[in-house]
Amino acid sequence: MTTARPTLVASDLDRTLIYSTAALALTAPDAEAPRLLCVEVYQGKPLSYVTETAAELLGELARSATFMPVTTRTREQYRRIRLPCPAPRYAICANGGHLLVDGESDPDWRATVAARLADECASLAEVRAHLLAVADPAWLLKERVAEDLFAYLVVERALLPDGWLAELAAWAEGRGWTVSLQGRKVYAVPKPLTKSAAVREVARRTGAATVLAAGDSLLDADLLLAADRAWRPSHGELADTGWRAGNVEVLADRGVVAGEEILRRFLAAARPVRAAA
């Protein structure tokens, strides 16, 4: 007798599956743009989109595998999104800081994360103070702390001085933190705070035989490396740095149509894995 073991599909959201108005410019001229479905509203305005085709593919994927959003967004930011599929049982927020189960943060996972952060890296207070000390009001728009786990700056990207980001990354590296530039946001995230660790926990709980993943930023690199198969679009931080790995396929697509292609690849790969019962 054999039983089907589930496939876990762990995907980044912003600029991987869903796209803001600014990110839509990565795609095609207006006359060739695909029809869109709004999946996020903020302060009464539409904010993020998928194509109508992607919406159909996501619904099919949710019926074929265990689909799990994996995002650097806070829980509040994640809950604004209305994906065109049944609400996923599992979701990862705050770059792995929160594992949501049926919409609620798992306390055991939160305690595990807190212990790792206390033991393995500099404090949030130290890193935040440094960020503010090296930021210039001429290009700094906002400074934020997310879930008391990591910090980020919203900046005028075109005004960032040459070498500033590299200097910040080198300073953070020595203190167990990672720096990532995504759109107008400069993230400083503790190295122990990873998407991959939370994904491995969900794979353990679900008994998943295969993990598929997708993402576009350096904060997704560990997630992609931890998957059996993974995909990245030809835009984003990973594309800008030429990042590659043996288990990661680089798609030719950019922008919102890349979200469609990622979902097609997920569906093609999400075949039931048979194992002896």
Token pair for residue 44? 């009464």
Same domain, 42 and 173: no
**Distance between CA 109 and CA 114 in Å, rounded?**
9
Name residue 189's amino acid: V
pTM: 0.89
Q: Give the CATH number for residue 127.
A: 3.90.1070
- Pull the structure tokens for residue 6: 């589930």
Per-residue pLDDT tens, the chain, 277 aa: give them: 345 568 999 999 999 999 998 887 766 666 677 889 999 999 999 999 999 999 999 999 999 999 999 999 999 999 999 999 999 999 999 999 999 999 999 999 999 999 999 999 999 999 999 999 999 999 999 999 999 999 999 999 999 999 999 999 999 999 999 999 988 999 999 999 999 999 999 999 999 999 999 999 999 999 999 999 999 999 999 999 999 999 999 999 999 999 999 999 999 999 654 433 3
Q: Does residue 276 lie within any of the structural domains?
A: no
Torsion-angle region of 267 (φ positive above 0: left; ψ -120 to 50: alpha; else: beta): alpha
Residue 136 sits in which domain range? 122-190
Q: How far apart are CA 71 and CA 182, in angstroms?
A: 13
Tokens of 37: 């479905």
Asked if residue 20 and residue 99 are part of one domain, the reply reads yes
Residue listed under structure tokens 């040459």: 162
What is the domain count for the chain?
Answer: 2
Q: Identify whether residues 97 and 160 lie together within a single domain.
A: no
Evaluate whether residue 62 is within a structural domain: yes
- Count Cβ neighbours within 10 Å for each residue of 57-85 and write b for 16 or more, e otherwise: bbbebbebbbbbbbbbbbbebbeebebeb
Q: Are residues 197 and 185 in the same domain?
A: no
**Do the domain assignments include residue 48?**
yes
Of 228, 223, 121, 94, nearest in space to 178 by CA: 121
Asked if 182 and 146 sit in the same domain, the reply is: yes
**Same domain for 207 and 174?**
no
51 & 173 share domain: no
